[in-house]
């Protein structure tokens, strides 16, 4: 197979250590065995480096992650995950079975569209002093829907016994829930799946405590 020089270049991930969407991409890269370079976009420093003109030329939405890969730039984590699954060998992140694949996409979208955006940095900065209560409310709302769905779909992992994009979305969202002091005992299926996944090397190496831009006091 002919491979262009563009496709041989390492992907470049523009991200932030504690960004759950960036973490999704790091997990996917680790599961697929993809080597990549990281460029830190500090969402706090200098009013947020995502707001600079330089970064807006990479992602006009001023969000992380943005991934330069194969001569294109992709700015949504689920698009990145599905692209690398379709173009790279290794573990499949979406099942071959259409019903299971639909379940994986449903769970992923529930988290990526229905929960995470309501407590990302931009939103909670607008909320101000009530940000913890706000975040808890919307995470609880989402998890109350997700828990019964996972009871039906889960085996060892979110959908059956193979790791998928759904698992990639779940773990960073639970990390956010714990940051905002959500009581995870209410969600035993979610809690069990998260604990199982955190024992897997790809989830460990991609964890926010193990990144080049992780502050020293938060490093593993």
Whether 138 is covered by a domain: the verdict is yes
Q: Strand, coil or helix: what is 173?
A: helix
* Pair (167, 182) in one structural domain: yes
* Pair (23, 107) in one structural domain: no
* Pair (82, 114) in one structural domain: no
Task: Centre a 10 Å sphere on the Cβ of residue 56 and count the other Cβ atoms it contains.
Answer: 12
The answer to whether the peptide bond before residue 65 is cis (omega within 30 degrees of 0) is yes
Q: Full-prediction pTM beyond 0.75?
A: yes
Q: Contact, 220 vs 210, CB < 8 A? A: yes
Helix (H) / strand (E) element for 69: namely strand 66-69
For residue 217, the model assigns a pLDDT of 86
Q: Contact, 176 vs 194, CB < 8 A? A: no
Q: Contact, 65 vs 121, CB < 8 A? A: no
* Pair (87, 102) in one structural domain: no
∠ Cα 27 177 133 (to 5°): 150
Q: Give the largest CA-CA distance in the chain.
A: 56
For residue 219, the model assigns a pLDDT of 77
For residue 2, the model assigns a pLDDT of 43
User: Looking at the 3D structure of the chain, how many domains does it have?
Assistant: 2
* Pair (20, 84) in one structural domain: yes
Whether 2 is covered by a domain: the verdict is no
- Measured CA to CA, the distance from residue 161 to residue 32 in angstroms comes to 17
Whether 22 is covered by a domain: the verdict is yes
14: buried, middle or exposed (CB in 10 Å: 19+, 13-18, 0-12)?
A: buried
Q: Helix and strand tally (H, E) in the chain? A: 10, 4
Instruction: Name residues of the chain where pLDDT drops below 70.
Output: 1-8, 220
For residue 7, the model assigns a pLDDT of 59
* Pair (150, 183) in one structural domain: yes
161: buried, middle or exposed (CB in 10 Å: 19+, 13-18, 0-12)?
A: exposed
For residue 6, the model assigns a pLDDT of 53
Q: Contact, 189 vs 149, CB < 8 A? A: no
Residues of the domain holding 198: 98-204
Whether 154 is covered by a domain: the verdict is yes
- For position 62, which CATH number holds? 3.40.30.10
Residues 164-188: tens digit of each pLDDT: 999 999 999 999 999 999 999 999 9
The encoded tokens of residue 173 equal 């969202």
Residues 6+ apart with CB under 8 A from 62: 48, 50, 51, 55, 56
């Amino acid at each position: 197979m002919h491979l262009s020089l563009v496709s041989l270049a390492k992907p470049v991930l523009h991200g932030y250590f504690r960004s759950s969407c960036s973490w999704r991409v790091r997990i996917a890269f680790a599961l697929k065995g993809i080597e990549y370079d990281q460029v830190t976009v500090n969402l706090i420093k200098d009013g947020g480096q995502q707001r600079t003109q330089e970064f807006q030329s990479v992602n006009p939405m001023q969000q992380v992650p943005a991934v330069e890969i194969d001569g294109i730039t992709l700015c949504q984590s689920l698009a990145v995950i599905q692209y690398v699954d379709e173009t790279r060998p290794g573990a499949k992140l979406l099942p071959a079975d259409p019903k299971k694949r639909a379940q994986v996409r449903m769970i992923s979208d529930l988290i990526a569209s229905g929960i995470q955006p309501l407590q990302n940095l931009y939103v909670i900065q607008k909320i101000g002093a009530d940000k913890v209560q706000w975040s808890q409310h919307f995470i609880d709302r989402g998890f109350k829907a997700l828990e019964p769905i996972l009871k039906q779909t889960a085996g060892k992992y979110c959908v059956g016994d193979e790791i998928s994009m759904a698992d990639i979305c779940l773990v960073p969202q639970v990390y956010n829930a714990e940051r905002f002091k959500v009581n995870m005992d209410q969600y035993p299926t979610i809690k069990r799946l998260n604990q199982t996944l955190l024992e897997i090397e790809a989830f460990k190496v991609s964890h926010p405590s193990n990144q080049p831009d992780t502050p020293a006091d938060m490093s593993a």
